[in-house]
Amino acid sequence: MIEEGENVSEMVTMPAMKPVDVAAREEAGPQTRETVFDIQALEASYGSNVAVRGVDLEIYRNLITAVIGPSGCGKSTFIRCLNRMNDEVPSFRQQGKILYHGIDLYGDGVEPVEVRRRIGMVFQKANPFPKSIYDNVAWAPRVLGLRKNLDERVEKALQSAALWDEVKDRLKRSALGLSGGQQQRLCIARAIAVEPEVLLLDEPASALDPIATQRIEELMHELKRDYTIVIVTHNMQQAARVADRTAFFSIDSDDSGRYGGVLVEYDETPKIFTAPSDKRTEDYVTGRFG
C-alpha cells in the first residue's frame, strides 16, 4: 500500500531497488483466454522517426495489461494506436497489423468514431469539459443519440467509476469544482457511459496524490470484471500491483543505428518482475536502468 507523502516516482530511478511486491492475482489459464487485440509487427513513426517497432503481442479480455518502460520508448504512441488516436497526427505512419476481435482496426470500412466508442481512453491529465458533472457523463451518449434512460445511464457510469456517492447531490454543478482524483474518475465515468469494451488508460494516476492514486487502482480492479484494460504507467510498483500482464518497452537502435522504442518482453506480471527472460527487463525492474 502507498503511504501518504511517499514519492512514488523516485522509486523508478533508485539504484538498488528491492524487488517490487507483486500482488497475488487470479488469471484465467491460457486455454480460457479470449484475445481482444492481436498486434502483429507493429511499427509506429512520426515522419522518419520510428517511435516504436517490433511490437507483437496479444491482449486478453478482462485482464489488466500494463505497458512500462523509460520515457520516450513509445508507450503512449502504442496505446494510442489501439483506438486510432494517432490518426489526427499528420506525420504519423504505421506498419504491421492490429486485429481487434480478428478485424483489422485500420481496414477499409472501419469507422474511427465506432472504434473509439468501443475502445475508450482516459488521459494523464484529467480533462473534464467545463460543464456540469451530469453533462460531462451524458456528453458522449447524447452525441451518439443514446438519449433513452439517460439519467440511469449517467448514474450507472458514475457508480461504476466509484464516484456516484460523492457527486449524486451536485450533479448540476461544474465538474471543474471536483478534486483532481474525482475529475479523473469522472473522465473514467465519461468513457464508460457509452459502454465500451476496452478502456485505455494513459498514465491515469501520474498527476494524482497517493490516496487518489490508490482509489484509481482499486477502481481498476473492479472495472476489470466488465472491461479489458490497458494501462501505460511509468510507475513499476503500480504495474506490479494492478496488472495481470506487463509489456516492457525499451529504447534501442535499429540496423541503421537509429534509436527508437522496441518491445523487449511481454509476459505475466509476476514473471516480468521476478524472473524476466531478458537482461534489459531485469536491469529496468531492478532499477539499474531507467
74 near ligand ADP, rule: CB under 6 A: yes
Q: How far is the CB of 77 from ligand ADP (least distance, A)?
A: 3
Which spans in 106-179 are helix H? 112-118, 133-143, 150-160, 164-167
Q: At what angle do helices 180-192 and 210-223 cross, to 10 degrees?
A: 20
**Nearest CB to ligand ADP, comparing residues 98 and 167:** 98
Give the contact letters, 39-68, x = binds to ligand ADP (CB under 6 A), - = no. Answer: -------x----x-----------------
Q: Which of 65, 76, 235, 269 binds ligand ADP (CB under 6 A)?
A: 76
CA distance 254 to 282: 21
Of the candidate spans 69-77, 93-101, 140-148, 158-166, the one that interacts with ligand ADP by CB under 6 A turns out to be 69-77
Q: N- to C-terminal Cα distance for the chain?
A: 23
Q: How far is the CB of 120 from ligand ADP (least distance, A)?
A: 19
Q: Parallel, antiparallel, or unpaired: how do β-strands 119-122 and 35-46 relate?
A: unpaired
110 near ligand ADP, rule: CB under 6 A: no
**Nearest CB to ligand ADP, comparing residues 46 and 106:** 46
75 near ligand ADP, rule: CB under 6 A: yes
176 near ligand ADP, rule: CB under 6 A: no
Could you tell me which residues come within 8 angstroms of residue 21 by beta carbon, excluding any fewer than 6 positions away? 237, 240, 241
DSSP 214-283: HHHHHHHHHHTTT-EEEEE-S-HHHHHHH-SEEEEEEEEE-TTS-EEEEEEEEEEHHHHHHS-SSHHHHH
Q: Which of 72, 96, 180, 210 binds ligand ADP (CB under 6 A)?
A: 72
89 near ligand ADP, rule: CB under 6 A: yes
176, 168 Cβ separation under 8 angstroms = no
**Nearest CB to ligand ADP, comparing residues 74 and 181:** 74
Return residues touching ligand ADP (CB under 6 A): 46, 51, 69, 71-77, 89, 261
